[in-house]
Structure 1
Amino acid sequence: MAGGVSVPQLAAAVSEAGGLGFLAAGYKTADGMYQEIKQLRGLTGRPFGVNLFMPQPEYADRAAVEVYAHQLAGEAAWYETDLGDPDSGRDDGYDAKLAVLVEDPVPVVSFHFGVPSREVIDSLHRVGTSVLVTATTAEEALAVARAGADAVIAQGVEAGGHQGTHRDNAENDDSGLGLLSLVAQVRETVDIPVVAAGGIMRGSQIAAVLAAGASAAQLGTAFLVTPESGAADVHKQALTNPLFSRTALTRAFSGRPARGLVNRFMREHGPYAPAAYPEVHHLTSPLRKAAAKGADAQGMALWAGQGHRMARDLPAGQLVEVLAAELADARTALSTGGGPR
């Protein structure tokens, strides 16, 4: 949940309640990440994790990015701002962030958008850090295991935000496996633990993925509406607003497939957005900031998983406790032959 949603307060509340809270380091500087880790350590002494975005290979069609910029000129005029520089940076400060995490280790580091090298994973292992890597197919999960990661995060197509595909191309826009099918395939492909992610909003769903072979569940959208979440109020409100009843995968905001609530911007620009991450992300950044400043949900990237309407406005720690109770109820019901409530 990069971009200011997964803040220290949220991660601390989840960890304090017995979960494993994560800080999202994506789109932050190395120093910004370090300062948030310091803040988080002041809020909890419990384990937590940090998530990094992998640097992306150069594959964008420059001409397609320029065409898309022309198509967005009207948006820039409407929001009275300039478009961003698509060449603002490709690697998200990856090496600098790794250096911080090796120098000042945290319990867990996870990676999105690809597999880190074995050298990187070994360097984290040497300082006592466990490594998790997202995969969206069994083949990607095999690459994760071969690189030496401790666990693979199996991300189903239901997940909100960016799909963690290892290599992006136009062919994977509308593809993707549902979570239960993915967990089963990954479980039969690798021997390392599997963390299930995508559309999970209730304890009964956690029970389902554990029964399918996962060792743990990762939830994102479920925590977006909590008071500790850094999501904008207009984003939180949209999650349960009947006007935003549907989610879809889109490249409109970042150039990479990501699931969000369908709004005007997505409908108008999604069909034409090129496969160009992070160029499109940088290009649309001022537009998204202007829309957020004006509380205009129709121009924002309202990332959300398919279960968004089931979001509960509870403090994050209380939500962890409710999910744990629901999980226990579901396991009891299944063990006694009844269905989960």
Structure 2
Amino acid sequence: MSVLRIPTRFTRRFGVRYPFAGAGMVFAPPTPDRAIAVSNAGGIGSLAVGCTPPEQLRTYIRAIRGATSEPFNVNFITCFDNDGAVRVCAEEGVPIVSFHWGHPRAEQIRVLRDACVSIWEQVASVEAARIAIGDGAELVITQDQEIGGHKRSSQPTFALLQSIVDAVGKDALVLASGRISDDVGIAAAFALGADAVRLGVRVGTQLVTKPSCNAIRS
């Protein structure tokens, strides 16, 4: 029996079945379980670092690698002291590192790029998206006023998404996040040009393995 695949630039770049990624969820338990489940279900799971000590993070990364061969993402809150944890990600060859709530320091970007780690950055404006891409991010994540957690944008979900897709969609992948929790929101995100959708509490087996084919653009 063939496995359903939903092709977008995101799935082709990262070799996954579905254009969905899990959010960092830093204040949920920072353990590998959610990242493993989402990656094994065909999306890209996310492990939130938060205040996790670097060597504990190394243990989590190795646990994820032991449970899935699929790509995953390690997510940082940029304002924290992340130097040691970023070095661990580079040393362990993590596929993807993402930064939330601010632009990472140049040295952190250099360490990750030298290790061939894909860099994602959550952005709240077109200007921030251009800065992120100019400094090496290959994917930007929209961070609008309707997103859960910390907010920096004054624009609603789909207005910010469209402005970022129009401005930088030819230069980088765009991952939509915010007020997206069902097929209608997913369809709207793809109609506006998103390459993938990022979800928090709703991402999981039900959503990732049973997407609406009509909601996805090729």
Query: TM-score band (shorter)?
Result: 0.7 to 0.9
- The answer to whether the 8 Å contact 1:17/1:318 transfers is no
1:106 paired with 2:94, answer: yes
Identify the residue that residue 329 of structure 1 maps to in structure 2. Answer: 214
Q: TM-score, with normalisation over the residues of structure 2?
A: 0.80
- Give the counterpart letter for 2:143 in structure 1: Q
Q: Deviations for 1:19-70, whole angstroms, at most 9, x for unmatched residues?
A: 0000000121112222211221222111100001112xxxxxxxxxxxxxxx
Identify the residue that residue 317 of structure 1 maps to in structure 2. Answer: 205
- The answer to whether the 8 Å contact 2:190/2:216 transfers is no
Runs of 4+ in structure 1 off by over 6 angstroms are none
2:68 to 44, 47, 55: 44
Identify the residue that residue 192 of structure 2 maps to in structure 1. Answer: 212
1:29 paired with 2:53, answer: yes
Q: How many residues align?
A: 192
Q: Which has the larger share of helix? A: 1
Task: Report which stretch shifted further, 34-43 or 212-221.
Answer: 34-43
Q: CA deviation at 1:5?
A: 3.7
- The answer to whether the 8 Å contact 2:190/2:215 transfers is no
Identify the residue that residue 161 of structure 2 maps to in structure 1. Answer: 183
- The answer to whether the 8 Å contact 1:155/1:197 transfers is yes
- The answer to whether the 8 Å contact 1:16/1:44 transfers is yes
* Alpha-carbon spacing, 1:317–1:220, altered in 2? closer, same or farther (3 Å): same
**d(CA) in 2 for partners of 1:7, 1:210:** 30
**d(CA) in 2 for partners of 1:187, 1:219:** 18
Identify the residue that residue 296 of structure 1 maps to in structure 2. Answer: none
Q: How does 1:47-62 map to 2 (within 5 A)?
A: 47-55=71-79
Q: CA deviation at 1:207?
A: 2.1
- Unaligned residue ranges in structure 2 (runs of 5+): 1-24
Q: Deviations for 1:92-117, whole angstroms, at most 9, x for unmatched residues?
A: x4111111111112110000121123
What RMSD over aligned residues (CA atoms) do the two structures have, in Å? 2.0
Q: CA deviation at 1:134?
A: 0.6
